[in-house]
Amino acid sequence: MTMEVAIWGVGTSDFGVFPDRRVESLAWAAIAEAIADAEIRPDDIEAIIFGSVFGPPGVATRVQRGLGMRAVPVWTIENACASGTTAYHEAVQAVRQGRFECVLVVGVEQMSTLFTGAIVPEATDPEGATGLPLPGLYALTAARYMDEHGLTPEQLAAVAVKNKTNGMDNPRAHLRGEVPTIESVLASRPIADPLTLLQCCPTTDGSGAVVVGSGRRNSRDVLVESSALVSGRPWDQRSDEVWGFACVRRAAEQALAQAGRKITEMDVLEVHDAFTIGEITTLEALGMTEVGRGGELAASGYTQRDGRQPVNPSGGLLSRGHPLGATGTAQLAEIVWQLRGDAGPRQVDRHRVGMVETMGGGAAGMDGNACVVTILST
């Protein structure tokens, strides 16, 4: 027998640079909000699953102890940028199978004390051995799209303008400066041609928490219609597809099939936009448009907050920031707030069905490390 699964509560910390805060402190902020939002007691939690890429050993147990919670199973998942949503996916499966009735999911990362520049893949990977950082890998995809599909710099910049405009209405976003224009995005400091500074996510600290429970108890609980986790498959540079595309596509196909829905039914989406080209290729992989047409879609207004299918009303990774393990849980929190109608000035008009997509960085010879896609509804 499979159980109905719902999200009972969500919470996040502020996102920014907090070198003087402990990782546990970041996590506690999100957990306290999620527990209060779910209207449960800490003793109602039967298991805790953490998602973190660079978190110190034993961080989950230290967080549990600091909250004064009873002894329950605790474990941590590392799955690159998809760590937080992978932890959520495992919680959903555990509740659906009847193993637990209430699971706390926590994503946390403190990036500012670890990195002073761009993250570089492992030295054992060909890209890492040559010192090619992640902005460079995404820039290669953008350059290829420009050559093969006629993607323009202005279409890339349109993603940054949209998400940074959305982020201005997110009080917890890392970057909330002056609203950029296409011209100012393109004129910002070059990082990896054709990507400029305003087209790259910042290095950010933060956390998110999600309470996953058995069934909906009231109208505020959000139904988990489906959750799909897909790992990468063998791939090399001779592939006709860009890096990560197939991983996202397969996860989306599975999630949509499980829910019995079409991508056109999604009212609002939070997707992995670590770089502007990432949102464009993701829109294509999700099936929102044809391959090579993602730039046109991004520049058309279709994905604006007042468009037909708003994408990243939170401001996305480009504005909120990208604390790797916390990103997926922050995306989940935003979609829950949107579906409840609790997103304040970020609120979209149609908000019955939402999707979260998080793609984890790849390893050499793989088309992507992992991707999680989940569909939620009221």
Between CA 4 and CA 328 the distance in angstroms is 22
Q: Is 322 a catalytic residue?
A: yes
Catalytic one of 89, 149, 174, 322: 322
Count CB neighbours of 58 within 10 A.
11
Task: Name 109's bridge partners.
Answer: 206
Name the residue type at position 33.
E
**Measured CA distances, 220 to 88, 156, 212, 215, 337 (Å):** 19, 37, 13, 12, 10
Catalytic one of 81, 102, 247, 371: 81
Q: Is 351 a catalytic residue?
A: no
Count CB neighbours of 352 within 10 A.
13
Between CA 144 and CA 147 the distance in angstroms is 5
Residues with active-site annotation: 81, 322
